[in-house]
Amino acid sequence: MISRRLLRIKTLQVLFAFYRAESDSLKKVESELLHSIKKGYDLYHLLFLLLLEIRDFAQRRIETAKQKLVPTHEDLNPNTRFVDNPIFALIEENESISQYAARNTLNWVNQPELIKKLYQKILASNYYAKYMQAETCEFIQHRQVLVSILSKELMDFDDFTQSLEEQSIYWNDDLDFMVGMLVKTLKKFEEGQSTDTPVFPMYKSDEDEDFAKRLLHKVVLGHAENTNMIEQYTKNWDVDRIASMDILILEMAITEITEFPSIPVKVSFNEYIEISKYYSTEQSSTFINGVLDKIILTSRTEGKIHKQGRGLIGEE
């Protein structure tokens, strides 16, 4: 399921675009947010298909070698451990994956050169050589080689990230999250599992979808009040020189801390500090940390923070 952090990031992105294009309606922005989340879930399934595409390319390579005019002993007696990896069958036979892919027309049919380059990278890796040369191979080793492909080959492969960017403006930001989500899924796979074994849903629960939509709406509705509050705590700063992304991250943090009673203050605080490290300037996390800390202290004193639920006593 898509994590709360990614939901926060996607909300941040659509809000940033919303404030730069003042003509957009809130309804349109909510639609854009839900579309962005859904595209992330598309990528999760597309990565399953990527593994199958690599397998198919490897299989075709084996068959082509057998058709040589003068095939070698190795050509005629290939090591088929990779193409026979049982995890591939679990992916291919999984009804949830295949039905979602078909319903949303997900495939890699137009990317043969990319698949070839990716396979060549895999062939050159030490983990692949060890996997293919091991005397025996258990289910866990079959799974690990696919985990290694996902975690070692995709993130820094420029051809791959460029391909994602060309297919969707959302996917480069989503890739790290979706690789992690797919790795967690593969680690739950078991030998002989049923074809109707579900994979992760888009949302952990209806509460997560509601969280994203409510956060979006409440930030917009509280924009004037929150920006005024931020200005009060940045009097020693040249407000015009404060990154607009920093202001928006502060707005979201303030909104979440004051409007979502079931989320601990510390969780919200830490999440937005971490987000600022990746989506704003080098100094942003320190700036946001200082300003937000003061705002939380004042808000608690004024009774604006009300938390409820197990383990949240004393959060106010």
Q: What is the pLDDT of residues 211-232, one digit of tens each?
A: 999 999 999 999 999 999 999 9
pLDDT at 242 over 90: no
CA 241 to chain centre: 31
How confident is the model at residue 312, as a pLDDT?
A: 56
Q: What is the pLDDT of residues 75-101, one digit of tens each?
A: 899 999 999 999 999 999 999 999 999
Q: Measured between alpha carbons, how far is 268 from 253 in angstroms, rounded to an integer?
A: 6
pLDDT at 311 over 80: no
Asked which of 18-32, 136-150, 247-261 is least confident by mean pLDDT, the reply is 18-32
Residues 67 and 184 in one domain: yes
CB 30 within 8 A of CB 216: yes
Residues 156 and 29 in one domain: yes
Q: Measured between alpha carbons, how far is 114 from 104 in angstroms, rounded to an integer?
A: 21
Residue 314 is assigned to a structural domain of this protein: no
Residue 311 is assigned to a structural domain of this protein: no
pLDDT at 314 over 60: no
How confident is the model at residue 24, as a pLDDT?
A: 73
Q: What is the pLDDT of residues 151-199, one digit of tens each?
A: 999 999 999 999 999 999 889 889 999 999 999 999 999 999 999 999 9
Q: What percent of the chain has pLDDT over 70?
A: 96
Residues 76 and 148 in one domain: yes
pLDDT at 207 over 90: yes
List the domain range (segments joined by +) for residue 268: 222-301
Tell me the two tokens of residue 44: 């999760």
Residue 63 is assigned to a structural domain of this protein: yes
Residue 307 is assigned to a structural domain of this protein: no
The structure tokens 């404060």 sit at 242
Residue 14 is assigned to a structural domain of this protein: yes
Residues 252 and 112 in one domain: no
Residue 201 is assigned to a structural domain of this protein: no
Residues 46 and 173 in one domain: yes
pLDDT at 306 over 90: no
Q: What percent of the chain has pLDDT over 90?
A: 85
When pLDDT is averaged across residues 133-157 and rounded to a whole number, the result is: 97
Residues 32 and 178 in one domain: yes
pLDDT at 282 over 80: yes
Residues 36 and 128 in one domain: yes
Domains: count for the chain: 2
One-letter amino acid for residue 199 of the chain? V
Residues 172 and 32 in one domain: yes
How confident is the model at residue 243, as a pLDDT?
A: 86
How confident is the model at residue 182, as a pLDDT?
A: 97
How confident is the model at residue 118, as a pLDDT?
A: 98
Q: What is the pLDDT of residues 28-67, one digit of tens each?
A: 999 999 999 999 999 999 999 999 999 999 999 999 999 9
Residues 227 and 160 in one domain: no
How confident is the model at residue 239, as a pLDDT?
A: 59
For residue 215, count other CB atoms closer than 10 A to its CB: 22
How confident is the model at residue 236, as a pLDDT?
A: 76
When pLDDT is averaged across residues 136-160 and rounded to a whole number, the result is: 97
Q: How confident is the model at residue 20 (pLDDT cuts 50, 70, 90)?
A: confident
How confident is the model at residue 313, as a pLDDT?
A: 53
On average, the pLDDT of the chain sits at 93
